[in-house]
Structure 1
Amino acid sequence: MERSILMVLDYKDVSFSFSSRQARRRRQKLRLAVLVFFVLIVFLGYGYLKTSLAVDEIQELLLADRLTEAENRLRAVESSFFQQGNIRELRALHELFQGRLAEAETQLKKLQQDDVSTSLRSGQLLKCFFDRGEYLQLKIYTAYLLPRGDDEVLWFSALCQAAFLHFGESEKTIARLSASYKKANGKALEVLSDFNRSLRRGRIDYIFDKNDRPLAFFDLGRRVTSSWIPGLDLGDFDAQFKKGARTFRLTLDSGLQKIVDRLFKDYFGSLVLLDLPENSIVVAYSKPRSFAAANAAFVEQFEPGSIIKIISLLAYLRLDENALFPLVCPGRLSFKDKVFYDWIAHGPVRDFSQALARSCNFSFARMALLVGSTRLTELLQRFFFNGPSFTDGFIKMHTGSLNSKVAADYQLANLAVGLEEISMTTVHAAVLAAIFSQSGQFFSPYLVDDVKNILDLGFYHHAARPVRVLADDLNFMRIKKAMVDVVENENGTGHRARSETVRMAIKTGTAGSSRQGLDAVIIGFFPVEKPRYAFAFRLQGAGKAELNGAFFLRDLLQSLYQK
C-alpha cells in the first residue's frame, strides 16, 4: 500500500511587505538622482571654472598685445553657456586692440542695448589704452562704461576729454570724482589740471628736439600745428596729435637744422644728417625746387649719379677674378649701337682707389661688365633698392628703385655709375653712407625718439635693432679708404671740401642734364677714425659736385664744428 507524504509549510515566522520594496526602489532612484545632480553640478562647475579661467587668460593676452593668441582663445570659448556677456565684451575689446574701431563700437552699443552685465577688469583695460596713447580706443570704451558711473571710469573719461582738447568737459568730469578718489590720486590730478590750464591758454607745445627745445605748438583757435623749424614739414605729427594729445621728442637738433637752412640760402635741394651708429636723424632738411609733396628728403627720388659707384666697386671687389687694373681711360666706351661717354679722358688709372677718387665712369663701366647685371642688381637690392620704405611709426621714408632687368651692356654701364636705370632719395643715400661707415651694419633711420601721454608718461621709446647687410669687412675697409682718397687725393673729385678740422670719407655724384641744370650729390661720413655722422645732400641745379657741391660740404663742416 502506497503512502503519500504531505509537506506542511509554516509561514508563521515569515512576512512579506510590498510597501518596503517600493521604499527601496525610491531610495535607489533618489541616490541615482543625487548622483546625477552631483555629476551635473561638477560638470557645470567645471565648465564655469574653465570659462572663467579662459576669460581671465584672454584679458591678460589682450593686455600683453598677444592678439592672435587672444583670438584663438576667444574662438574656443564663444560657444560656452557661461559668461556670455564677458565673452561678447572681450570680442569687442579684441576689435579695439586691433584698431577696428567701428566694429568694436557697434558691438559695445549692442551690449548696452541688451543691458548685459559684465565683470571684466575694465580699469586695467582703460589704463592700457591710456598708457599706450590709444585715445580713440579709450574714448569708445569709456563711453560704453560711463553709465556705471564709478570713479575709475570718470577719471579716464576726464583724461580722454582733455586728450581731445575739451578742457571744459574734462574739468566738469573731474568735479564729479569722489573726495576719497581725488585724495588718493592727487599727483595725477595736479598734472591733468596743469594740462587743462595750458589748453585754456589756447596753445600747447608738443614737439621738441633732442635737447628739449620746442619745435612746434598746436594752435587751439586755428586747430593747426605751427612750426618754428625750417625745412621739415610736421603735417604727419599734426594728424597724430588730432587723434589725441601727446608730446613727441625728436632726434632732430634744431640748432643744426637752422644752420643748414642758412647754408641753403642760395640753393634748392635736400640734406639728411644721421647720428651713428643707430641712424637717428639729426637734420632732415628739404627745400625742393618744384617737388609738391612734403619732406622731399624722405620721398623725392632722383638720379644719384656716381655715389652708386661704392656699391659697384663692392660688387667688383667680391669677384674671384678682379684684375682689371691698371687701365687707360679714353673717355668713352663703344657698344654695338651706342657710345658710353665719360666726363673726360682720365688716361692711365692705376687701381680701383684712383678710379673712385677721380670718379672714372669708363673704369666703372668696365667693372660692371665683369660683374654682370645679375650680380650687380642683386647687390643693389641688398642695399634696399626696390625694397619697402623705411618706417618710423607713422613716418615713411622711401627707398630707391632700379631697373632689375637690365639686359644691354649700355644699360649696365649706366646702372654702375648711377644714371638712367636707378633713382633714390636723400635719406636712402645717407643710409647708404652709414652702412659703409659701419662695415655693412644697418640701423633703420628714425626721427621719433619717444612719445608721452598727457600725464607726461612715456608710452613709446625707439629701440634700435641692427641688421647685417653684408659680412665683408675687408672690402668695406678697402672702399672706405678709397672714399678718403676722394677728399685727400689732390686729383680727387672732393678735394675742394678738404677740412683741417676733421677727416672725412665721401663720394661725389653729378646727375641731371645740362639743359635743366646738373645736380650735385655727395654722401659720406666723418670723422674717418671713429665715424660719428653720416650724411647725404643734393643741390638741385648747382652744377658739378666737385665744385659747388664740395664747397657746400666744406662750409657745412666748418659750421658744424664752429657751432
Structure 2
Amino acid sequence: MTYYSTAGRRRRRGRFTRILVLSLMAAVLVWAGAGWRAGSLITQSENEVIQGNPAAAMELLQAARFYRLRAGRVLEAEGFVSLARGRNEEAAGVLERARAAGTRRTGLDLARVAGFLANAARYAEIDLLAGHRAATGGAGIPPLWRAETALAMGRLDEAGKLLDEAGTLAGDRGQRLRDLLAERRREGRADILFDRHGRSIYGLNLDNGEPVLGSPELGAALTGAGGLLQHLEERDLRARVDLTLDLAFQRAAHTALGRYAGAFVALDPRSGAILALVNHPAETDGEQPAYRRQYEPGSILKMITLAAALDNDIPLDGIFPLNCTGNMTLDGKVFYDWMRHGTVADSMEATIVSCNLTFAAIGLALGQARLDDTLQAFGFDRHLDLPDLELPTGQLARINPQSPRLGLAQRSVGLENVSITPVHAALVAATLAHGGVMMRPHLIAARRSLGSTEPYAVTEVQALLQPVSPATTAVIAAAMEAVITSPRGTGRRAALDGLSFAMKTGTAGEREFGLNSIIIGYAPLDNPQVAFAFIAEHAGKAELAGARIARDFLATVRNEFEDSP
C-alpha cells in the first residue's frame, strides 16, 4: 500500500515537472517570438523609410509597441523616422526616451540608415544619431558616414582621422571624400553652388564663414533679400546644389548691360531652366530688379496683342493697310506714335517698324476682355510661388472708365496701365520660342550629398501655361525675325552674320528721366536654346543702345549653342 502511494506521488511530481518545463518552454518561445516580431517590424519600418514611406513606417512601429520587451529599440526606430523627415528636435526627444528605456543593442542596421541619411545630405541628423549611439555605449555609426558628416560640418581634421579609420573599406565613396577633403584644405573654402557645367558659383570661406562668389555679378541674385540662398534648406548649405545658371551666359549678360542699371534674364525655353539672372549693379538696395521690379513693358507687349488677335481670329484685313499719321484721337485725347510710319501693309510690317497706331487698332478690334484674357494666360496678375524663387509677374492696372478706348490702346502697346518684371518678360520670350508653351522656370537642377555620385533630388521639368497656339507663334517668329533682317527693322543693329534669331524692341518709361530700353528675343531661330529679356534703364530708344546690348550678348554666347538637329 505504501509502495503504491510513493510511486503515485512520484508520478504526480513527474507530471508536474513536465508541465512546468513545458510551460517555461512555451513562455520562452512566446517571449522569443514577441522579440522576433518586434525586431521584424523595426526592420520593416526601416525599409519603409528608405523607400520614402515614413507614414507607413510609423504605423508598423505603432504595432511594434505592443511587444513591450523591446520598447527602447522601437523608440530608437521612431527617432530614425523623425530624422529622415528632418524633424531633429522631435527626434532628439524620442531618442532620449529610447536611451531611458534601454537601447545598448539596436534594432536598426546602423550602416544602412546612416548611408540613407548621408545620401540625402542629412548630416545634422547623422550627428544626432551618432551622439545618441555613443551615449548608449553600444554599437556606433560606421566611421565612413561620420567622416562624411564631419567634412560637411567643416570639421576637416576629424574627417581625416575618420577616413583613416575607415581605410580601404570606405571604397570609392571614401576616395571621393578624401579628394574633397584635400581640395578644401588646399582652397580654404567649401564650394556649395555650381553652375550647369560644374563650375563653382558660391561657397564659404572655411576660416571665417564669409561667402565666396564664383562670379561677382551674381550679387543680390544669390545673397540679397529674396535671393536664392533664402530658398535653400539648411542641409543644402552643407552639401552640393547644381544650379541651372551658366557662368558663360551670366557673364555675357552682365558685360552686355555695360554701364546701364537694370536687369538681364536668360532662360532655356525648352525646360524653363534659368541660364542668367543679372541685377545691375550686382549689389542692390535689397530689391531684386530681375524678378521683383515692375517696369512699363513698352512695345514688347505688342507680341501678346498680336497673339491675342491671331488666336481669337480677329479679321486683320479690316485694319490693313493702315495709314499711320503719327497720332490719333481717342476719347477726346491724343494718342501718339513714336514716329509717322505712313502706310503699314500688314502685321509683319507693323512689327518691323513697331507702329503704335497699328497695334492700338488691333487692340481696339480685340476689345479689353479678350486682350486681358490673353495677358492673364501669359501670366499677368499672377504670383508664381516656385520652390526656388519668388516670381511676381506683370500687373494690369485699372483702365480709366472715363477714357476706355485710350486706355485700351495704351495697354495694347505696353504703356501706362500695364507693367512687367524682367523674369516675366523672359518667360514671354521663352513661350513664343517654345510653340506657345511656357515651361516652369527654375534655378535648381539637382541636389547632391558630398559622397554620392547620384542626386537625391532632381527638379522635374514641367509645363506651366499654354497661352497661345503653335501656329500663332510661328507667325510671330517670322515677324520677330524680320525686326532684325529688314532694313527698316527696329532691331536691325543687332544683326549677327551666321545667326538667325527673333527679337522685339521696346522703349518705355518717363522721357524726362531718360527712357528705358526693353528687349525680348530668342536664338537660334530654328532651334531656340536661349530666350532672353533685359531692361536697360535710361538707355534711350531700344533700337540703339538696346540693339547693341542684344547683339553683344548673342555674339558672346553663340558658341555655347548646341548644333541644330
TM-score (norm 2): 0.80
Q: 1:525 is matched with which residue: 508, 522, 527?
A: 522
Corresponding residue number in structure 2 for 1:192: 177
Give the residue type in structure 2 aligned to 1:439: G
- What is the CA–CA distance in structure 2 between the aligned matches of 1:437 and 1:418, rounded to whole Å? 20
- What is the CA–CA distance in structure 1 between the aligned matches of 2:51 and 2:481, rounded to whole Å? 49
Assess, with a 3 A threshold, how the Cα gap between structure 1 residues 413 and 50 changes in structure 2: closer, same or farther: farther
- What is the CA–CA distance in structure 2 between the aligned matches of 1:362 and 1:521, rounded to whole Å? 19
Question: 1:122: Cα distance to partner?
Answer: 3.4
- Of 268-277 and 340-349, more deviation after overlay is shown by 340-349
- What is the CA–CA distance in structure 2 between the aligned matches of 1:230 and 1:512, rounded to whole Å? 29
The answer to whether 1:170 aligns with 2:159 is yes
- What is the CA–CA distance in structure 1 between the aligned matches of 2:397 and 2:66, rounded to whole Å? 53
Contact 2:491 2:504 in 1 (8 A): yes
Corresponding residue number in structure 2 for 1:440: 436
- What is the CA–CA distance in structure 2 between the aligned matches of 1:530 and 1:173, rounded to whole Å? 51
- What is the CA–CA distance in structure 1 between the aligned matches of 2:94 and 2:103, rounded to whole Å? 12
Question: 1:238: Cα distance to partner?
Answer: 6.7
Contact 1:304 1:418 in 2 (8 A): yes
SS in 2 for 1:389: strand
The answer to whether 1:277 aligns with 2:237 is no
Give the residue type in structure 1 aligned to 2:306: L
SS in 2 for 1:156: helix
SS in 1 for 2:267: strand
The answer to whether 1:111 aligns with 2:98 is yes
Give the residue type in structure 1 aligned to 2:81: H
- What is the CA–CA distance in structure 2 between the aligned matches of 1:302 and 1:288, rounded to whole Å? 17
Q: Once the two structures are superposed, what CA deviation does each residue of 1:98-117 show, in whole Å capped at 9, x if it has no partner?
A: 33322222222232244346
CA RMSD across the alignment: 4.1
Give the residue type in structure 2 aligned to 1:119: G
- What is the CA–CA distance in structure 1 between the aligned matches of 2:125 and 2:332, rounded to whole Å? 63
Corresponding residue number in structure 2 for 1:313: 306
Contact 2:86 2:122 in 1 (8 A): no
- What is the CA–CA distance in structure 1 between the aligned matches of 2:325 and 2:73, rounded to whole Å? 80
- Of 225-234 and 325-334, more deviation after overlay is shown by 325-334
Give the residue type in structure 1 aligned to 2:289: A
- What is the CA–CA distance in structure 1 between the aligned matches of 2:363 and 2:447, rounded to whole Å? 46
Instruction: Give 5+ residue unaligned stretches, structure 1.
Output: 1-19
Corresponding residue number in structure 2 for 1:125: 113
Assess, with a 3 A threshold, how the Cα gap between structure 1 residues 529 and 51 changes in structure 2: closer, same or farther: same
Assess, with a 3 A threshold, how the Cα gap between structure 1 residues 513 and 189 changes in structure 2: closer, same or farther: same
Q: 2:122 is matched with which residue: 120, 134, 156?
A: 134
SS in 2 for 1:499: coil
Question: 1:271: Cα distance to partner?
Answer: 1.6
- What is the CA–CA distance in structure 2 between the aligned matches of 1:249 and 1:219, rounded to whole Å? 19
Q: Once the two structures are superposed, what CA deviation does each residue of 1:401-448 show, in whole Å capped at 9, x if it has no partner?
A: 323765742443333323343333322222221221110233333444
State the number of aligned residues.
535
Assess, with a 3 A threshold, how the Cα gap between structure 1 residues 155 and 311 changes in structure 2: closer, same or farther: same
- What is the CA–CA distance in structure 1 between the aligned matches of 2:374 and 2:34, rounded to whole Å? 59
- What is the CA–CA distance in structure 2 between the aligned matches of 1:481 and 1:397, rounded to whole Å? 33
Question: 1:325: Cα distance to partner?
Answer: 1.9
Corresponding residue number in structure 2 for 1:496: 493
Question: 1:52: Cα distance to partner?
Answer: 5.7
Give the residue type in structure 2 aligned to 1:122: L
Q: 2:536 is matched with which residue: 536, 539, 544?
A: 539
Give the residue type in structure 1 aligned to 2:433: S
Assess, with a 3 A threshold, how the Cα gap between structure 1 residues 95 and 378 changes in structure 2: closer, same or farther: farther
Contact 1:142 1:153 in 2 (8 A): no
Contact 1:390 1:445 in 2 (8 A): no
Contact 2:173 2:452 in 1 (8 A): no
Corresponding residue number in structure 2 for 1:5: none
Give the residue type in structure 2 aligned to 1:310: M
Q: 1:60 is matched with which residue: 33, 41, 47?
A: 47
- What is the CA–CA distance in structure 1 between the aligned matches of 2:53 and 2:372, rounded to whole Å? 39
Q: 1:325 is matched with which residue: 306, 310, 319?
A: 319
SS in 1 for 2:373: helix
Question: 1:539: Cα distance to partner?
Answer: 0.7
Assess, with a 3 A threshold, how the Cα gap between structure 1 residues 433 and 460 changes in structure 2: closer, same or farther: farther
Corresponding residue number in structure 1 for 2:481: 484
Corresponding residue number in structure 2 for 1:204: 189
Q: How does 1:302-381 map to 2 (within 5 A)?
A: 302-323=295-316, 324-326=318-320, 327-332=322-327, 334-336=329-331, 339-381=334-376
Corresponding residue number in structure 2 for 1:429: 425
Corresponding residue number in structure 2 for 1:220: 206
Q: Once the two structures are superposed, what CA deviation does each residue of 1:441-479 show, in whole Å capped at 9, x if it has no partner?
A: 333334444444332533246455242733622112111
Assess, with a 3 A threshold, how the Cα gap between structure 1 residues 290 and 375 changes in structure 2: closer, same or farther: farther
Give the residue type in structure 2 aligned to 1:227: L
- Of 418-427 and 51-60, more deviation after overlay is shown by 51-60
Q: Once the two structures are superposed, what CA deviation does each residue of 1:524-560 show, in whole Å capped at 9, x if it has no partner?
A: 1122222232111111110111221112222333334
- Of 122-131 and 108-117, more deviation after overlay is shown by 108-117
Question: 1:165: Cα distance to partner?
Answer: 0.3
Give the residue type in structure 2 aligned to 1:483: M
Assess, with a 3 A threshold, how the Cα gap between structure 1 residues 317 and 208 changes in structure 2: closer, same or farther: same
Corresponding residue number in structure 2 for 1:3: none
- What is the CA–CA distance in structure 2 between the aligned matches of 1:75 and 1:423, rounded to whole Å? 55
Give the residue type in structure 2 aligned to 1:510: T
Assess, with a 3 A threshold, how the Cα gap between structure 1 residues 111 and 151 changes in structure 2: closer, same or farther: closer
Q: How does 1:386-465 map to 2 (within 5 A)?
A: 386-389=381-384, 391=386, 395-403=388-396, 408=401, 409=404, 410-455=406-451, 457-460=453-456, 462-465=458-461
- What is the CA–CA distance in structure 1 between the aligned matches of 2:146 and 2:138, rounded to whole Å? 10
Question: 1:218: Cα distance to partner?
Answer: 2.6
Contact 2:319 2:361 in 1 (8 A): no
Assess, with a 3 A threshold, how the Cα gap between structure 1 residues 411 and 494 changes in structure 2: closer, same or farther: same
